[in-house]
Structure 1
């Protein structure tokens, strides 16, 4: 089983916008719809879980109806992104146990070795079908996968006084993107561990890494940007023009 979590419960603060950036229109389509369609049209994916703000539920439902996107499971977001993803993980666990149930004797199947979850940013609409399918193929082989691209710039590690402490070898520096994909039981256990140990991760891969699982990095695309600032919008429009 392949499930997808799309995180779309953010705000427009860094965008200097008065509404959720997921609803900004790009070439006659809301950003969220552009992202959703990439996964909705992929036949390898079984279920899509969309993380939203509770107060935006009616608006999102109307949006999905307008673009004829059906059977999306809506989940309310939490305080932080990590909380939002965890809410989805719990929802997936509930639904997967129902689908894994043996109807003849009502026993629950405990193994999730063939159940994988992709986590993707709602504000990352230019993920390609090739990246999605590469991620699915690789997670089946490695159990934990992160999409990314090699850094084009030299990276500096600085101290609190802005003095450079070190310069890592650029050949070892990659910029993480989404989707990130994991075997479900690994992701679930890693999130449980993060809460038990008060660990805050900046992405799902860091939470799984902290749990002691090796994560395979695979090639993404420099076009697979996350739209966060007004400058990103201009770049996004140029990608769509191409």
Structure 2
């Protein structure tokens, strides 16, 4: 392809974040005086490779995001779209909105992961050529058991062949758009973007991600996040 790649970002903030407590969804809660979602948005804004960014957010919280972005304008931000009732539908809504930006490559990121390493995001872009996707991941270090429905241990998984998927994840725009359009139509229920590309037979590789790339899920995660942020960004 002639010329530099056109890179866009889809940030998914569709979940309400009930497990994290509080009245606001976790992406909008303040951490060290800054809305959690803004940490990731600013990291992508610092990448010259990224031309545009759009956020999928619940309809009832679009005004909240708009207020945040009015106070913190970013070069790459092109607005928000209404997220769906599942992660997949939120991702698809964001991908459809990104069509107007004509990207070659899209990075998809969960808003609940505020610590984005610019170096790792660039490593994804470097790893992508020749594949249908590249994701950040971390090797499994804990013992992982398969368990029964009645809480009995059954067998230990071989963690040597297991990784924990992180975000951002990178894909050729057309590949991921087709994967989500097809997957949603077929009723496939994947838990990340790579699962939709793999569902249609795409080749996806992984790149080692930092252990600081935590997903803020529970209330105690906010204290951990503050400690990581005070210790310096990756």
> Following superposition of structure 1 onto structure 2, how do residues 177-216 of structure 1 map, counting pairs within 5 Å?
177-216=166-205
Note the residue ranges of structure 1 that are not aligned, 5 or more in a row.
Answer: 97-113
* Greater Cα offset, 138-147 or 204-213: 138-147
> 2:8 matched to 1:3?
yes
Q: Distance in 2 between matches of 1:197 and 1:11?
A: 25
Match in the other structure for 1:115: 104
Give the number of aligned pairs. 225
> 2:142 matched to 1:137?
no
C-alpha deviation, 1:69, in angstroms: 2.1
- Which of 86, 101, 105 matches 2:92? 86
Residue 128 of structure 2 aligns to a residue whose secondary structure is: helix
Q: Distance in 1 between matches of 2:12 and 2:181?
A: 19
- Which of 73, 77, 97 matches 2:79? 73
Note the residue ranges of structure 2 that are not aligned, 5 or more in a row.
Answer: 1-5
Q: Distance in 2 between matches of 1:21 and 1:133?
A: 26
Q: Deviations over 1:91-116 (max 9, x none)?
A: 222442xxxxxxxxxxxxxxxxx811
Match in the other structure for 1:128: 117
Larger radius of gyration, structure 1 or 2? 1
Residue 48 of structure 2 aligns to a residue whose secondary structure is: coil
Q: Distance in 1 between matches of 2:60 and 2:86?
A: 16
TM-score by length of 2: 0.91
Preserved CA contact (<8 Å) 2:11 2:110: yes
Preserved CA contact (<8 Å) 2:107 2:168: yes
Q: Deviations over 1:123-173 (max 9, x none)?
A: 111111111111111123423011110111011112222333322211111
Q: Distance in 1 between matches of 2:132 and 2:8?
A: 14
Q: Distance in 1 between matches of 2:55 and 2:186?
A: 27
Match in the other structure for 1:23: 28
TM-score by length of 1: 0.88
Q: Distance in 2 between matches of 1:115 and 1:82?
A: 20
> Following superposition of structure 1 onto structure 2, how do residues 98-113 of structure 1 map, counting pairs within 5 Å?
none
C-alpha deviation, 1:183, in angstroms: 0.8
Preserved CA contact (<8 Å) 2:137 2:208: yes
Preserved CA contact (<8 Å) 1:116 1:139: no
Preserved CA contact (<8 Å) 1:14 1:228: yes
Q: Distance in 2 between matches of 1:232 and 1:4?
A: 25
